[in-house]
């Protein structure tokens, strides 16, 4: 064996001995550290049976159970968890806790009510039963402040309104508002109105304008098939035309024609309001009206011998009994004005005849309910406006 080989063997032996010695030193240090950490000089909080110092209790993980006989969620003793919660709960009276729970419940109820109201508003604006739905996939979340000015450019096609709702970041569909953030949009064009159905020309205009508007807001529209849309529009308009009912009862003067100036006082005492357009209407107490009244003469005339009370049947909810209220008003005016209730052919209407008409009105309401377009509902008001 040469001197070089002997030198290399010696160096290797020194290296191995150094590594072994280093490992022993590290093992000794680790052992001492563990012994100090678990020495008997330190209390084990979970094993104490006496009262724990406040500082020790403050370091415990709180249990989610207030039952001292039950273990906490992590499996620790309930007594330690209960002590931790007790230190906090002692600062509050039971009344405070009740008030806090009531406040939380009230906040939750208000949030739920607001969410429900927003969902109802969204359905009223874009209604699958009476609107052609126009989904708009956004490239990314968009603020209502930026969307609204662009959406305003497409609000009508012919005489058919176009509405929009958005899927908010909360996960609810709602009307698009300033300050809202939306991940999807849904447009809707009304398929029919009192006068006409959505036609091919209007739909073609809608598609062209919708694509241009979608480009501005970074959206991709989903365009429904025109043939299917036109068929739905015609079906809906047939229903509207078949239920566009207006009922009237007339008051015929038994003597000389009434002076218009005299009528004003009598109508005001009866509860009628005069609208800016000159119509006389009976308020429903909620900003709308139950029925209207016409003098059957132009504004230039000074007298009239005939008044007509008119009920727009699909626009008044059955619960308001618009026809009953109108007949009661007519009978009251008979006494005030010395008149007779007559039909369109000037024949007197008996109570029996009025009762028969009231029955027909109830049948009419039943038909509208069966079609999911109840009289007086938002859906009906949109179609029959």
**How far is it, in rounded angstroms, from Cα 330 to Cα 97?**
60
Torsion sign across C-alpha atoms 378, 383, 384, 385: positive
**Is 60 exceeded by the pLDDT of residue 158?**
yes
**How far is it, in rounded angstroms, from Cα 240 to Cα 245?**
9
59: exposed, middle or buried (Cβ count in 10 Å: 0-12, 13-18, 19+): exposed
**How far is it, in rounded angstroms, from Cα 295 to Cα 279?**
9
Which of 47-56, 107-116, 316-325 shows the highest mean pLDDT?
316-325
Query: 241 versus 70: which is more confidently predicted?
Result: 241
Closest CA to 170 of 221, 106, 119, 107: 119
CB 283 within 8 A of CB 271: yes
**Is 60 exceeded by the pLDDT of residue 171?**
yes
Give the pLDDT score at 64. Answer: 28
The structure tokens listed for 97 are 């806790």
User: Among 68-77, 151-160, 280-289, 364-373, which is the least confidently predicted range?
Assistant: 68-77
224: exposed, middle or buried (Cβ count in 10 Å: 0-12, 13-18, 19+): middle
pLDDT tens digits, 99-122: 666 666 665 555 555 556 666 778
CB 289 within 8 A of CB 325: no
pTM over 0.85: no
- CATH T-level assignment (fold) for domain 246-383: Cell Division Protein Zipa; Chain: A, (3.30.1400)
**Is 80 exceeded by the pLDDT of residue 190?**
yes
**Is 70 exceeded by the pLDDT of residue 85?**
no
- CATH T-level assignment (fold) for domain 126-241: Cell Division Protein Zipa; Chain: A, (3.30.1400)
**Is 70 exceeded by the pLDDT of residue 251?**
yes
Domain boundaries, the chain: 48-89, 126-241, 246-383
CB 232 within 8 A of CB 190: no
Q: Same topology for domains 126-241 and 246-383, yes or no?
A: yes
Q: How far is CA 39 from the centre of its chain?
A: 64
Give the pLDDT score at 279. Answer: 85
8-state DSSP, 5: H
Across residues 69-81, what is the average pLDDT?
Answer: 37
The number of CA neighbours under 13 Å toward the Cβ of 57 is 17
Across residues 13-39, what is the average pLDDT?
Answer: 54
Give the pLDDT score at 37. Answer: 41
Residue 223 confidence class, pLDDT cut points 50, 70, 90? very high
**How far is it, in rounded angstroms, from Cα 81 to Cα 71?**
8
């Amino acid at each position: 064996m040469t001197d070089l080989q002997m030198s290399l063997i010696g160096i290797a032996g020194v290296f191995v001995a150094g590594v072994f010695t280093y490992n022993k030193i590290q093992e000794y240090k680790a052992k001492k550290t563990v012994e100090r950490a678990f020495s008997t000089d330190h209390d084990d909080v979970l094993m104490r049976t006496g009262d724990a110092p406040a500082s020790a209790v403050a370091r415990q993980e709180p249990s989610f159970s207030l039952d001292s006989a039950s273990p906490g969620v992590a499996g620790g003793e309930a007594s330690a968890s209960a002590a931790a919660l007790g230190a906090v709960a002692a600062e509050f009276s039971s009344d405070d806790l009740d008030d806090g729970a009531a406040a939380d419940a009230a906040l939750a109820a208000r949030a739920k009510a607001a969410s429900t109201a927003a969902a109802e508003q969204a359905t009223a604006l874009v209604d699958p039963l009476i609107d052609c739905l126009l989904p708009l996939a956004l490239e990314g979340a968009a603020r209502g402040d930026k969307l609204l000015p662009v959406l305003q450019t497409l609000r009508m096609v012919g005489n058919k309104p176009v509405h929009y709702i958005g899927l908010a970041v909360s996960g609810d569909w709602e009307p698009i508002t300033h300050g809202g953030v939306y991940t999807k949009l849904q447009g809707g064009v009304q398929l029919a109105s009192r006068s006409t159905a959505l036609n091919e020309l209007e739909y073609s205009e809608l598609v062209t304008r919708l694509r241009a508007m979608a480009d501005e807001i970074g959206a991709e529209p989903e365009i429904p098939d025109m043939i299917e849309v036109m068929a739905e529009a015609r079906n809906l308009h047939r229903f509207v035309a078949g239920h566009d009912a207006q009922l009237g009862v007339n008051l015929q003067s038994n003597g000389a024609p009434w002076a218009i100036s005299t009528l004003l006082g009598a109508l005001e005492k009866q509860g009628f309001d005069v609208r800016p357009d000159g119509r006389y209407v009976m308020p429903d107490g909620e900003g709308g009206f139950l029925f209207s009244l016409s003098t059957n003469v132009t504004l230039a005339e000074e007298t009239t011998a005939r008044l007509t009370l008119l009920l727009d049947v699909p626009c008044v909810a059955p619960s308001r009994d618009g026809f009953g209220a109108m007949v009661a008003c007519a009978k009251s005016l008979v006494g005030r004005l010395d008149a007779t209730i007559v039909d369109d052919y000037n024949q007197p209407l008996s109570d029996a005849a009025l009762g028969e008409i009231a029955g027909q009105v109830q049948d009419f309401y039943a038909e509208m309910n069966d079609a999911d377009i109840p009289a007086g509902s938002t859906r009906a008001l949109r179609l029959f406006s």
